[in-house]
Amino acid sequence: MKTKTKIALGVLAAAALAVACWRLAPPAAEPAPGPQEAPASEQPAEQQEEPDGLTERQRELQARYDGPLEETLAFLEASTWSTPNESASLSFEPGAYAERSAGAEEARVPFAVELATTSVARDSGAVITRQTLVLDVGEGTSLLYFDTVTAADGSVSYSLTSDGFAHAQTYLWVSPAREVAVEGLGEEMLSLVDGRGDLLAQRLSEYCALYYPTASAATFNGQATVSWDEGTVSFSLALDTRTRPDIPVTYDKSTLDFMVGKGAHR
């Protein structure tokens, strides 16, 4: 019979633990099949995908990019995007974008820009510059609207809108928090996780960089469940984002590491 113990830990002075987060580089693409291997599918050559998910036609479109379009895509790739309610995030990489939500699978879409146009409008003293990008997404096209709004006071905001997005129709540019502090951990809780508070902050920062890029702090709720049979300690951390989601965390005493997010509480 498995034994689990729920522990309500005393609230001690909170010690903020922070660590810089980073993004892992994507794994190297596997080499294309050799000339003696059979093709992976019977699709026309222009629709066959390369290891990175791009079709031959998408590669041809990429080769035609001009300077202004490359600058626009570079801005999208260097920026962090989130829904207004901070329930999902969007990121760009060369040739693809990815949507992430804590309650859903990652939606990654390889694309190439087929056509780009720009229009300018004025509204209540603000200047709205809209770039309309026609995206080739492999089995069709979708429209991406990139709006830059310059207000009368000089402030600038950016948004992306597309019916092709999976988790939301509109994403806003946000300033990401590069470090996430873990607050409310006392000596009792730190002893349960073998004093590895710095590693907890690191794992949480990595998780938030993908799903909650605006989070800057998380607070321990004072309760932990210990499974003596499995050698785990499970608890939750409340983020300081608008919706204040509770993020499940499990510490494994056999690996001395943390699992954060969906699936952490088994």
- Per residue in 167-183, pLDDT (tens digit) is 999 999 998 777 899 99
- The answer to whether residue 32 sits within a structural domain is no
User: Within 13 Å of residue 216, how many CA atoms lie on the same side as its CB?
Assistant: 5
Same domain, 14 and 82: no
Q: What is the pLDDT, as a whole number, of residue 214?
A: 84
214: containing domain: 4-21+178-260
Q: What is the pLDDT, as a whole number, of residue 194?
A: 96
Residue type, 180: V
Is residue 263 very low, low, confident or very high in pLDDT (cuts 50, 70, 90)? low
- The answer to whether residue 221 sits within a structural domain is yes
Same domain, 155 and 188: no
Q: Which of 149, 174, 199 is the last residue of a domain?
A: 174
Q: Which of 159, 174, 189 is the last residue of a domain?
A: 174
* Least confident window among 49-53, 177-181, 197-201, 248-252: 49-53
Confidence check: pLDDT of 192 > 60? yes
Confidence check: pLDDT of 48 > 60? no
> What is the rounded radius of gyration, in angstroms, for the C-alpha atoms of the chain?
23
Confidence check: pLDDT of 115 > 70? yes
- The answer to whether residue 79 sits within a structural domain is yes
Same domain, 135 and 170: yes
Q: What is the pLDDT, as a whole number, of residue 120?
A: 97
- The answer to whether residue 30 sits within a structural domain is no
Q: Yes or no: say if 243 and 87 are a contact pair by the CB < 8 Å rule.
A: yes
The candidate with the shortest Cα–Cα distance to 126, out of 152, 101, 100, is 152
Say how many domains are in the chain: 2
Residue type, 87: S
C-alpha 203/C-alpha 26 separation (Å) is 18
Q: What is the pLDDT, as a whole number, of residue 14?
A: 35
Q: What is the pLDDT, as a whole number, of residue 5?
A: 63
**What are the C-alpha distances in Å from 179 to residues 20, 97, 213?**
5, 23, 10
C-alpha 202/C-alpha 218 separation (Å) is 12
Same domain, 164 and 52: yes
Please tell me whether the overall predicted TM-score, pTM, comes out greater than 0.85 for this model.
no
Same domain, 73 and 147: yes
Same domain, 79 and 135: yes
